[in-house]
Chains A and B, each alone.
Chain A
Amino acid sequence: MSVGQPLDRVDGRAKVTGGARYTTEHPLTNVAHAALVMSTIARGRIASVDTRPAESVRGVLAVLTHVNAPRLPAASRSGDHPPRPSDRVLQLLQDDVVRYANQPVAVVVAETLEAAHEAAGLVRVAYATDKHDVRLEPRLAEARPPKHAGRPDQPPASAQGDVDAALAEAEVKLEQVYRTPFETHVPMEPHATIAVWEGPARLTLYDATQGIFGCRQRVADLLGLKPDDVHVISPYLGGGFGSKGPTWSHVVLAAMAARRVNRPVKLALRRPQTFGPVGFRSRTRQAIALGARRDGTLTAVRHDTIAQTSSFDEFMEPASVAARMLYASPSIATSHKLVRSDIGTPSYMRAPGWAPGSYALECALDELAGALDMDPLALRLKNYADQDPDTHRPWSSKTLRECYRVGAERFGWNRRPRAPRAQRDGRALLGWGMATSVYPTHRSKAAARARLTADGLLHVDSGSQDLGTGTYTVMTQVAADALGVPPARVVFRLGDTTFPETPVSGGSQTAASVGSAVHAAVTALREKVIALAVGDARSPLHGLAAGDVGVADGRLSARGAAGRGETLQALAARHGEIEAGGEARPGDEEKQFAMYAFGAQFAEVRIDADLGMLRVSRMVGVFDIGRALNAKLARSQLMGGMVWGIGMALHEDTVMDERLGRIVNNNLAEYHVPVNADVPAIEVAWIEGADAHANPIGVKGIGEIGITGAAAAVANAVYHATGRRVRDLPITLDKLL
């Protein structure tokens, strides 16, 4: 078995030797370079654009503005909401309206990158400025319910039992408001596209996208092309975290620019240009009310979230959804509302809703534990949900109880003093906190194609994407086991719309969706190969029943008589290439079961008692993730999520200058994410065991679960260290003085 083993990344060598080509690195000839000009006001109109100084820069080929840009098909120009919920309304130089600061308002194309950027700096845009408002808090009264809570299958509000009555009668009650900031994804690789017109209506896009097929469809819709005539290629990504899920304006603008200059055009966003126009996590204001009996039994849970969206599009950061299902309670009510602001449209960011929601809910549980003088972990166990409180369905699997137990043991939780501010180490105050992690297990329809070639290699192709998470590697392992060959005999390809169709790499669904499809395709190939062997007079296996033939380590053999058989290579050499396709789609399991990954996180912080300087000094995370396809990659993914949790708790904050409506810290120097010095030894573990119901390969998604609960564990540790409850992330030094 290869699945489960800590196999090194199969693309590791290509990555460290520079052989792996990221979007901007595809070697095309005659490529022109594009640079975007962004709006400097948050709301208004473009009064005039002077492009002459830009056009006079040597090497400039074209300057596209709303005045001269090609008109897109009428359907694309209208402000109507696009057809799919993950599609965003874009800014494609179709009108003079400025809807947010850092909106693309012109595209410069030049022979060189340097000329393009120099000229972009010379485009003079004059604005007729309108009064803007980028704030959330002063406008809460204007908040309105969204169409849905982040996903069409998640309604904006929910109600079970009578929360008001339960709160009125509760022996112990907690009501608090928690706030999370505007957060930006900042993947290592900024967004980038190369657009190549292969003919008047045929387009190839090299694009840094988490969803090649969604990109194909969206671009085809907007440019009036047939999806089959748009070819999207994306073999490697330098992270995405959701920001490369939807197709954003620059992708279409690159295609428009390439058409204008009749050459391939490369457009890479500069780091500051990724703050606003390509999605972010909205700030949230979360009001939580909990009611409980003296013994800790929850009687009421209320969680109301208000977040921001843009003036022209709708995206809800669904922070209240975790409260619907995480703890048993006879009454649970949740809601979501949106305030429209003069900002870009927020979008999916690692564990949308679940990350900020678990922060607030898990801090509220910690506060309730304090009010009850109860151990925070005991409070969670007291309210452990044995079935889904929302749908009343059984869990597809749930080993959260073991996660709590193993995590507490490894962390040493039972040595934790109940009272805050009770542990010191020299000048440092020490605090311990814990929280629950949770993230839904999704999958979507996916397909794959498998070929056994005459050289005995197994080739598997499936659309999909690898964000840097290890898709190449885990699919190689799944394919290897499904046929019975060593992983080294598998060549897995992805990131190309000529391959079988797959979903967006979002919602932690790639392993479940594509893995199940790869498993189906290779299993079909295996059956085909065995059928060929038993029907082939030249095969030693001729005449056997298919069920009596096994495949292991690249060799077909008779069951019970391992000596009788031949290699896959020998069979393929006689028959030539053997091919099979496979598909996997969600079935009834979604109606029968509630499917979630869970986890328990524990954090220790050290705070300089005088100066407020804070460091996370230890973290333990134990997760319920079904089957881990690759122990090394699973650990890295979970740990990466936990590191994001540290950033969410202590660092990340996109700061707006409210007077200008512009982002102040639009760079990696001032938009703080944790660096090595902020990340302690992190212990990651999981409870072994496949989920028997969620999908054919028994996995739960692991890309997002690690961030959920992590910020709360840290925040709860800060309270335990200092006795101060900060309900407004990030927990920076100024809030602790």
Chain B
Amino acid sequence: MRDRNSYAFALISVAAALDLDGQGVIRQARLALGGVAHKPWRVAEAEQRLVGQRPGDGAWRAAAEAAVAGARPRRDNVFKVELARRSIARALATTAALT
């Protein structure tokens, strides 16, 4: 997510990976965020939250909530909490569609 369509530092970036079992249930997940801290930020709680779930909006929302739980935004980047939620949901949905 960025302020112009090419070459701009990310406001939020999301890396997501999903491993589904034969039944289509999430076996394991990896989720990391950029642009939210002084370093890339892996969100293990959100990953855990996804394990055993079926892909879908409910799972994505729960993972996104877990990912931003405890986030402490500053005056000028409050929007990033909501943007992170939505970006995570989009990234997971996109990933699931590819899996």
Contact = CB atoms under 8 A, between A and B. Distances in A.
Contacts of A670: 9
Given A610-B90, A611-B90, A677 B83 contact: no
Interface in B1-59: 1, 3-9, 11
A737 B9 CA distance: 19
B83 A733 contact: yes
Contacts of B89: 610
B79 A675 contact: no
B38 to A, nearest CB: 17
B72 interface: no
Interface string A667-685: 0011010111110000000
A717 interface: no
A611 B3 contact: no
A674 B6 CA distance: 9
Nearest to A676: B6
B95 interface: no
Interface in A592-640: 610-613, 615
A111 to B, nearest CB: 36
A434 interface: no
| Interface residues of A, dominant DSSP | loop
Contacts of A651: 3-4
B86 A613 contact: no
Contacts of A669: 7, 9
A733 B2 CA distance: 8
B36 to A, nearest CB: 14
A702 interface: no
Interface string B54-98: 000000000000000000000000011011001101100000000
A732 B6 contact: no
Nearest to A653: B3
Contacts of B6: 675-678
Contacts of A64: none
A650 interface: yes
A675 B80 CA distance: 24
A677 B4 contact: yes
A650 B86 contact: no
Contacts of A611: 1, 83, 86-87, 90
B83 A734 contact: yes
Interface residues of A, number: 19
A734 B11 CA distance: 9
A127 B87 CA distance: 45
A650 B1 contact: no
A170 to B, nearest CB: 36
A736 to B, nearest CB: 9
B83 A737 contact: yes
A675 B89 CA distance: 28
A121 to B, nearest CB: 25
B90 A737 contact: no
A734 B7 CA distance: 18
Contacts of A676: 6
Given A733-B11, A734-B79, A737-B79, A677 B86 contact: no
B4 A675 contact: yes
Given A612-B83, A672-B8, A732 B90 contact: no
Nearest to A665: B9
B5 A675 contact: yes
A715 B90 CA distance: 26
Contacts of B90: 610-611
Contact of B86 (A610, A615, A674, A675): A610
Given A610-B90, A733-B11, A650 B83 contact: no
Contacts of B9: 669-670
A645 to B, nearest CB: 15
A613 B1 CA distance: 7
Contacts of A650: 3-4
Contacts of A737: 79, 82-83, 86
Given A610-B90, A733-B11, A615 B5 contact: yes
A737 B12 CA distance: 13
Nearest to B7: A675
11 contacts: A610-B90, A613-B1, A669-B9, A670-B9, A672-B4, A674-B4, A675-B5, A675-B6, A677-B5, A734-B79, A737-B79
The 7 closest A-B pairs by CB, nearest first: A677-B5, A734-B79, A677-B6, A675-B6, A678-B5, A672-B4, A610-B86
Given A610-B90, A672-B8, 20 more contacts: A610-B89, A611-B1, A611-B83, A611-B90, A612-B83, A615-B5, A650-B3, A651-B3, A669-B9, A672-B3, A675-B4, A677-B4, A677-B5, A677-B6, A678-B4, A732-B3, A733-B1, A734-B79, A734-B80, A737-B86
